[in-house]
Structure 1
Amino acid sequence: MKVAVIGGGWAGIAAAVELTAAGAQTTLFEAGRVLGGRARTISVADRRLDNGQHILLGAYSQTLALMRRVGADPAQLFDRRPLQVVDNTGFRLALPKLPAPFNVAWGLLSADGVGLGEKLKTALWMEGIKRQGFQLPADLTVANWLDAAGQTGRLRRHLWEPLCLAALNVPAERASAQLFANVLRDSLGSSQREATDLLLPRVDLGRLLPEPAAHWLTRQGAELRMGRRVRKLAADENGIAIDGEHFAAAILATAPQHATQLWPALQLAYAYEPIATVYLQFAATTSQSFPLRNLLGQHGQWVVDRGDGLLACVLSGHGEWEKFSDAELAATLEAELGYAEKAIWRQVVREKRATFSAAPGLSRPGCTTAQPQLFLAGDYTWADYPATLEGAVRSGLRAARLAYTRRPE
């Protein structure tokens, strides 16, 4: 069975690996020079940098399984640590290595700078969320959800709002409460302690999955057509024609706007959120006490310690920071970090359409289309999650399984 995957992001990679493992004759089309899509490694001034920072969780079971499948060992590639939320005001919430849910309870009750009354109120609220199965009204924002629950104290400012921005890439005022609840369900609300662990990459994104997957696919006989932009997609007899070439089935694993260009009947239209990563290179001895820190400045949001003095400051969602030039943005973030020393190298990487906007009531397509042999994959099709690598991987696996089981006789 000859199947095409269009798009070499993490969804397309997952689909291509699953199809190839099942015995399909797989062809992967990717317009860029490397695999990875919106989670890839780029070369800047002879350095390998990521086009954005992706912190994975222990709950990302399918992503970790896919990595192992192609020969990438998560135990070697990630620095795995129990969740901590630390910021520059002295707030700290750290989960111990206790069985769930005692790890979350202990972390909450031992959080620095939060009164006992607020802690107990939050613990009761979280138990209430579990009892209602993490189900919320579709039109509810995270801000309104927190307001209704009386979550208006320090934990809101130092825990819930930063976690919402990190997970959904939009501030609480515009973010879907249901999607945020789903993230909490599979992390802090999980019955598995390991699900809450932070997986901090020791290597760049390319070495986590795209490069090992490319080698694996090539060894298994799949065809990778890099630098090949698909121009025309059409139905033909018993399948799909891609630029005139016949395939029994095809998986569209591109961003929504590109999918609609190739198949206008999809009519996918979304608002998007930008993400910028400001890389600041300090002396090699410079480091943070914990690799991930919330930067509660006017513009900065999260800081990731990439080792050897390289700090990556992340800004997500529309904001005033978009008006700054790269030099102004780097200088602003360097000032907010507050180090006495000056950065010796600076680089800004921007993605204007980094993620779809995870707003309340967002309509998202599934995997299938009106054309029986055309399937969709991508984080925007995995409606249970916001734009995450795990959602992308799961969507690719699902599309591949359907495409293979529906093969024409």
Structure 2
Amino acid sequence: MRVAVIGAGWAGLAAAVDLVAGGAAVTLFEAGRVPGGRARTIDLDGRRLDNGQHILLGAYRETLDLMRRVDADPDTLLERLPLQVVADDGFRLALPRLPAPFNVALGLLTARGVDRREKVDTALWMNAVQRRGFRLARDLSVAAWLDAAGQTGVLRHRLWEPLCLAALNTPASRASAQLFANVLRDSLGSPRRADTDLLLPRVPLGDVLPEPAARWLAAHGATLRFGERVRKLSPGPDGVAVDGEAFDAAVLAVAPQHLSALLPDAPRLDYEPIATVYLQYPDAVRLPYPLRQLTGKSGQWVVDRGDGLLACVQSGHGEWEKLSDHGLAAALQNELGLGGPVRWQRVVREKRATFSCRPGLSRADCVAGQPRLLLAGDHSWADYPATLEGAVRSGRRAAQRALAAG
């Protein structure tokens, strides 16, 4: 069975690996020169860094399984830490290494900067949400959901809203409460303690999965066509023509903003930006915990990349977009308050980093009109917002259906 996979992002790579493992002859098309799509490694002034700071969770089971399949050891490439939310105003919530759900309960009850009444009310609310299976009666904004639950205190501003922005890349005022609830279900609400862990890459993101997956595919007989943009798809009852070349099936795994060029009837989505500001301090500078929440006007999260390199992340449309690269970097240095000038800085902006996760969002289906043309990508995994795990799961689902159709 000959299968074309179009797009070498995390979804396309996942599809290609499972197709090859299932016995298909795979041709992987990628317009760019390197694999990884919207989560790849780029060259910045001679440094191998990521096109945006990404954080993984222990709940990313399919991603971790795929890494192991392509000989990328998660225990070596990722640093696993119990989740902490630490803000620069004194708020701190740390999950202990206890079985679930006791880790979340104790972490909540021992959180700093929150009064006891609010902790108890939040624990009761979370318990009620869990009993309902994290299913809401109707989708609404996260802000409206928190309002209705009486979640209006410190935990709203230091836990729920920042987690919503980090996970959905959409501010709580316009983010889907059901998608956020799904994220909570598989992380803080999971029966597996390890699902709540924070996984920070020890290496550039390309070395975590994209490059090992490309090497594995090449070693197992797949044809990799980098720098080759697909212009036309012609699906038929017995297969799909890709720029005139016949295949038994095709998996379309391009970013959603490029989807309409090949699939005119694809749903139209709105998008949210992400900016990652890299600041190089002296090597000895480090954060007490590698993930810190910023509470100023410009910053949201900062990740300690080691050896004095910090990655500050700004997600979703906001006032920070009005600042120039120099102005944004200067504002973040001021908020960090680490003193002294930085040795090097760069700002990477992705204007359409993810789709906007709004209530009632219409998502593309896996099957694009006929069973031999399948869709993959975070935009097609309706249970999740735009996450690496959603991309990987969608790719593996598309591969399974392509193999079944053959």
TM-score when normalising by structure 1 = 0.98
Question: In the alignment, what sits opposite 1:196?
Answer: 196
**What is the identity percentage for the equivalent residue pairs of Structure 1 and Structure 2?**
68
Question: In the alignment, what sits opposite 1:185?
Answer: 185
- Which aligned pairs between 1:31-180 and structure 2 lie closer than 5 A? 31-180=31-180
- Which aligned pairs between 1:10-409 and structure 2 lie closer than 5 A? 10-236=10-236, 238-264=238-264, 266-407=265-406
Structure 1 segments of 4+ aligned residues over 4 angstroms from their partners = none
For 2:362 and 2:244, how far apart are their aligned partners in 1?
A: 32
TM-score when normalising by structure 2 = 0.99
SS at match of 1:20: helix
For 1:325 and 1:113, how far apart are their aligned partners in 2?
A: 34
- 2:49·2:204 contact (CA, 8 Å) conserved in 1? yes
- 1:257·1:268 contact (CA, 8 Å) conserved in 2? no
- 2:290·2:305 contact (CA, 8 Å) conserved in 1? yes
- 1:382·1:394 contact (CA, 8 Å) conserved in 2? yes
SS at match of 1:240: strand
SS at match of 2:276: strand
- 2:266·2:364 contact (CA, 8 Å) conserved in 1? no
Letter in 2 for 1:195: D
For 2:237 and 2:303, how far apart are their aligned partners in 1?
A: 51
- 2:32·2:227 contact (CA, 8 Å) conserved in 1? yes
For 1:238 and 1:169, how far apart are their aligned partners in 2?
A: 40
Structure 1 residues 94-113: Cα deviation after superposition (integer angstroms, max 9, x where no partner) = 00000100000100000001
Structure 1 residues 297-333: Cα deviation after superposition (integer angstroms, max 9, x where no partner) = 1010000000000000000001121122211111111
For 2:279 and 2:182, how far apart are their aligned partners in 1?
A: 33
Deviation at 1:140, TM superposition (A): 0.9
- 2:237·2:370 contact (CA, 8 Å) conserved in 1? no
For 2:371 and 2:259, how far apart are their aligned partners in 1?
A: 16
Structure 1 residues 334-389: Cα deviation after superposition (integer angstroms, max 9, x where no partner) = 11111112111000001111000000100112211212210000001101000000
Deviation at 1:236, TM superposition (A): 4.2
- 1:3·1:249 contact (CA, 8 Å) conserved in 2? yes
SS at match of 2:103: helix
For 1:263 and 1:152, how far apart are their aligned partners in 2?
A: 43
For 1:120 and 1:286, how far apart are their aligned partners in 2?
A: 37
- 2:292·2:301 contact (CA, 8 Å) conserved in 1? yes
- 1:138·1:360 contact (CA, 8 Å) conserved in 2? no
Letter in 2 for 1:82: P
Query: 396-405 or 137-146: which moved more?
Result: 137-146
- 2:55·2:200 contact (CA, 8 Å) conserved in 1? yes
- 1:137·1:178 contact (CA, 8 Å) conserved in 2? no
For 1:257 and 1:175, how far apart are their aligned partners in 2?
A: 19
SS at match of 1:306: strand
Letter in 2 for 1:181: A
Letter in 1 for 2:112: D
Question: In the alignment, what sits opposite 2:6?
Answer: 6
Structure 1 residues 196-243: Cα deviation after superposition (integer angstroms, max 9, x where no partner) = 000011111100000100110000000110000001111246111111
Q: Which runs of 5+ in 1 are unaligned?
A: none
For 1:187 and 1:226, how far apart are their aligned partners in 2?
A: 35
Letter in 2 for 1:190: S
Letter in 1 for 2:215: H
Deviation at 1:257, TM superposition (A): 2.7
Letter in 2 for 1:256: P
- 1:39·1:205 contact (CA, 8 Å) conserved in 2? yes
Letter in 2 for 1:180: F
Letter in 1 for 2:220: Q
Deviation at 1:86, TM superposition (A): 0.2
Structure 1 residues 172-206: Cα deviation after superposition (integer angstroms, max 9, x where no partner) = 11110000000000011011000100001111110
For 1:236 and 1:59, how far apart are their aligned partners in 2?
A: 38
Letter in 1 for 2:271: Y
Q: Which runs of 5+ in 2 are unaligned?
A: none
Structure 1 residues 249-272: Cα deviation after superposition (integer angstroms, max 9, x where no partner) = 0000001232211121x3320000
For 1:337 and 1:375, how far apart are their aligned partners in 2?
A: 45
